[in-house]
Structure 1
């Protein structure tokens, strides 16, 4: 029993057993791994920029150096902190994995964004600093796409009102309620590409589409749902709303079902009208769910591209362009990798700033009401 106890204690390192020599060794492991990683990354960057010729066509050495640094960092935690370091190992590998999959690609993408790199050019990639940034800030088509995103995002308020109304309807005691819940969810089950072809390319086809025929019957001689900038933009909003209103509706319906019925019954006993019960009981209690649904819907809206690309390709004259569809065409049609990446970075920064500000503004309403 004594030998078994002694064997188990070999893996336990207390704070008093961490000697100065052990601490120095742990710090040396971290610094050595980090120095190797930085040196490898700088050498490969110099090779990519044409300052030196190392004959490397990929970033594998930097990846291997990062793996070695991650291993040494995890090992050093146990060397430096003993048992506390072992607990850190439950979290540290996951954090390093996130760094490898998120931070490194962002840094690499930033390098591309600061390059003049067109795949159709025989000159290859050249570093041009912030030239792509200044070009983007003066690009009227990109600024128009940003303004379109503001309009598309503002339409979410209308979508929210419709979704709330449908959620209230499906929460009421109506006939075939379960059938309508499934039926209203069908658009959400369809791919945006399928929606664009089924509705935009078929139903709203200007010559033989059923909606065009109906428009002619009602007196519109030459129906063109995507020929006018205003109408085309409105059609994009309608088709995207038709796809995602069910998502907001199902979230709001779940929130309505979580409200205790006793609250409505007590308000009814007090003589409150249906409108007053909604405005003073239902709506305040639904604020946290509403804010969550709207924020998630904004995230989906900021990625809007499929419907625009498949139906109008941003036309007419960029009137329906989203930032994502514009960047897609910058890559596909113009092969402009450097400029397209800079546009994506600008959009990412704007999204982070806007969403952070929006979440701070809505923080007081996001808390559960009591």
Structure 2
């Protein structure tokens, strides 16, 4: 049938719509059945002799074709228009949903790369081990501390944005200078600061501390001090990102409002607290949420400088999961840790965004 001959949605017969639904339903059932059988085979519960996940890929492609054909049958011209966005949607699903489902299938298995037994399904044993793992919950507690430090980073970034938005000398030069940490890799910063400047034997900071009379200057042996230094390095790299977002918001804010308040006799603090800060609230919340998302992925600085030490005191969840893979080769348990952390992040970010949107609606 030619494209021009396709009927509109209102002209499609009930029989044609039922045929389209039947095609999609049959392909969906086949696809789900292949996925289930493939997962059972991968977990060792139902050995079918399948060596890889190609049957699932072929079933997915067949389902995609059936979905497009069924849309055209059910909706006519409207279904044909949907075909233009269908490849992008299916590609997104393949890149996001399938790896997640594959990770879930691994999370419920006993799979250690150092073992000769291979991958075996072990039910909820990994979940029970996670609940009883004090080092994982210690890493979770550390993440709470690191996330709370975002408010401190925001305050510093806001102060810098106000400074760079003011009429100061060499303003463009200072903007470039304050953006330099953002241009550096966190791993480079870890080696430059954590491994070199803060090295307790020959580092310049340690030498200066000895010159001041401190006999044994160590920066990562005490849990509290180690956390602070990890946060300082991460903040130094990340504050410019928040600062540039806030600076863009300040430059977009109408200057007539603050100038009118200044003429009316409002002090600098009153202009900031009653005008600038409320007007900057949407930009501020966006910057804070983005920074929290990036903070939840904190790992590279910790892995490079402390490897989670001393005794796991500086571990983030990501660095702990990384060591579970690297040091113990425990793929099954490490994947369970990652899946559980993903669920926690999704719940936390959803609650945070809902709470912020409700507060914004009340304020506006």
Q: Alignment RMSD, CA only?
A: 1.8
Matched, 1:155 2:149: yes
Give the equivalent residue in structure 2 for 1:11: 5
Q: Which piece of structure 1 moves more, 122-131 or 18-27? A: 18-27
Give the equivalent residue in structure 1 for 2:202: 208
Structure 1 CA distance, aligned partners of 2:207 and 2:116? 51
Give the equivalent residue in structure 1 for 2:255: 261
Using the TM superposition, give the Cα deviation of residue 174 of structure 1 relative to its aligned residue in structure 2, in angstroms: 0.4
Using the TM superposition, give the Cα deviation of residue 58 of structure 1 relative to its aligned residue in structure 2, in angstroms: 0.5
Using the TM superposition, give the Cα deviation of residue 354 of structure 1 relative to its aligned residue in structure 2, in angstroms: 1.0
Equivalent of 1:352 in 346, 353, 356: 346
Structure 2 CA distance, aligned partners of 1:106 and 1:265? 53
Instruction: Please give the per-residue CA displacement for 1:84-110, whole angstroms capped at 9, x wherever unaligned.
Output: 212222333322222222122111111
Matched, 1:169 2:139: no
Using the TM superposition, give the Cα deviation of residue 266 of structure 1 relative to its aligned residue in structure 2, in angstroms: 0.7
Give the equivalent residue in structure 1 for 2:186: 192
1:23–1:79 contact (8 Å) kept in structure 2: yes
Equivalent of 1:94 in 67, 88, 96: 88
1:115–1:127 contact (8 Å) kept in structure 2: yes
Using the TM superposition, give the Cα deviation of residue 364 of structure 1 relative to its aligned residue in structure 2, in angstroms: 4.1
Q: Secondary structure at the match of 2:280?
A: helix
Give the equivalent residue in structure 2 for 1:66: 60
1:115–1:129 contact (8 Å) kept in structure 2: yes
Give the equivalent residue in structure 1 for 2:276: 282
Equivalent of 2:20 in 1, 23, 26: 26
Q: Secondary structure at the match of 1:362?
A: helix
Instruction: Please give the per-residue CA displacement for 1:42-73, whole angstroms capped at 9, x wherever unaligned.
Output: 33233223344432210011111110111110
Give the equivalent residue in structure 2 for 1:82: 76
Structure 2 CA distance, aligned partners of 1:238 and 1:9? 62
TM-score with structure 1 setting the length: 0.94
Using the TM superposition, give the Cα deviation of residue 270 of structure 1 relative to its aligned residue in structure 2, in angstroms: 1.1
Give the equivalent residue in structure 2 for 1:124: 118
2:246–2:284 contact (8 Å) kept in structure 1: yes
1:288–1:367 contact (8 Å) kept in structure 2: no
Structure 1 CA distance, aligned partners of 2:175 and 2:61? 50
Note closer, same or farther for the CA distance 1:107–1:80 as it changes in structure 2 (3 Å cut): same
**5+ residue gaps, structure 1:** 1-6
Instruction: Please give the per-residue CA displacement for 1:92-144, whole angstroms capped at 9, x wherever unaligned.
Output: 33222222221221111111111111111122111111111111111110000
TM-score with structure 2 setting the length: 0.96
Instruction: Please give the per-residue CA displacement for 1:156-185, whole angstroms capped at 9, x wherever unaligned.
Output: 111111111100100010001000000000
**5+ residue gaps, structure 2:** none
Equivalent of 1:217 in 205, 211, 215: 211
Matched, 1:313 2:307: yes
